[in-house]
């Protein structure tokens, strides 16, 4: 068992690190497919990547119910670290979560099990944060939509392999939908619900 004193630390400078991390995430969301770096570093418990940890410290708090996939939830350090540094309540019911942390994309549940928002309040939807292997190797994807000047090309090694096929539900649901943030180490890419993706093969 890890005691609180032994938990990996949060940001060294809470205020400025959160600001810098937020700007990276904001830029990622505003320019889907672009790879943004998260500069400020915090300690991260085992299964959590550095980028994921920084995003958690930046956006999670008492007001954001949080859903963890089995990979994340099985680590006592992850839950303890999140509770201590963010105070976000961990929920079992993914349909009420503001954020979902997915450590094992291979076991990602159907997007329908998350909050998709309502017609009146489409913003009340889960932001799903998925840790992936890499933005330097893997398949190529063509992205179009708001935030993209014509076409953006994303290279990523992603599990589940059919992530973008699954995200097609966003097309029919809009303005309801799921926003996805992909994290690989300290790099982050956002796929908001407006982004349409075409696989380019390998």
Partner 1 sequence: MNAPAYNFAYLDEQTKRMIRRAILKAIAIPGYQVPFASREMPMPYGWGTGGVQVTAAILGPQDVLKVIDQGSDDTTNAISIRKFFAKTAGVATTTATAEATVIQTRHRIPERALNENQVLVYQVPIPEPLRFLEPRETETRRMHALAEYGLMHVKLYEDIARFGHIATAYAYPVRVNARYVMDPSPTPKFDNPKMDNCPALQLFGAGREKRIYAIPPYTQVVSLDFEDHPFEPYRFNAPCALCGAENSYLDEIVTDDKGGRMFVCSDTDYCEGRQAAGHYGSLSAAPYREKAGSHG
Structure tokens at 103: 């450590």
Q: Which of 46, 74, 93, 123 touches partner 1 (CB under 8 A)?
A: 123
Q: Does 20 bind partner 1 (CB under 8 A)?
A: yes
For residues 125 and 115, is the Cβ–Cβ distance under 8 A? yes
63 binds partner 1 (CB under 8 A): yes
Which span sits near partner 1 by CB under 8 A: 65-73, 104-112, 155-163, 174-182? 174-182
Nearer to partner 1, 60 or 141 (CB): 60
Q: Which of 187, 64, 76 is nearest to 137 (CA)?
A: 187
Instruction: Pick left, alpha or beta for residue 153 (phi over 0 → left; psi -120 to 50 → alpha; otherwise beta).
Output: beta
Residues 198, 171 contacting (CB under 8 angstroms): no
Q: Which CB sits closer to partner 1, 47 or 125?
A: 125
What is the smallest separation between the CB atom of 194 and partner 1, expressed in angstroms? 7
193 binds partner 1 (CB under 8 A): yes
Work out which of 97, 189, 192, 197 binds partner 1, going by CB under 8 A.
Answer: 192
Residue of 67, 97, 98 whose CA lies nearest to 82: 67
């Amino acid at each position: 068992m890890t005691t609180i004193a032994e938990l990996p630390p949060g940001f060294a400078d809470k205020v400025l690190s959160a600001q810098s991390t937020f700007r990276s995430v904001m830029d990622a969301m505003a320019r889907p497919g672009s790879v943004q770096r998260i500069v400020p570093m915090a300690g991260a418990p085992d299964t959590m990547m550095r980028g994921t940890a920084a995003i958690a410290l930046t956006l999670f708090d008492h007001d954001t119910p949080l859903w963890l996939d089995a990979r994340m939830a099985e680590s006592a350090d992850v839950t303890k670290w999140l509770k201590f540094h963010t105070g976000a309540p961990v929920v079992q019911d993914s349909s009420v979560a503001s954020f979902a942390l997915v450590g094992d994309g291979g076991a990602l549940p159907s997007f329908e099990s998350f909050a998709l928002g309502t017609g009146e309040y489409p913003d009340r939807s889960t932001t799903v944060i998925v840790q992936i292997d890499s933005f330097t190797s893997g398949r190529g994807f063509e992205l179009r939509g708001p935030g993209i000047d014509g076409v953006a090309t994303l290279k990523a090694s992603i599990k589940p392999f059919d992530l973008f096929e699954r995200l097609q539900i966003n097309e029919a649901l809009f303005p309801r939908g799921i926003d996805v943030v992909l994290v690989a180490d300290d790099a982050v890419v956002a796929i908001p619900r407006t982004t349409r993706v075409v696989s380019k093969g390998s």
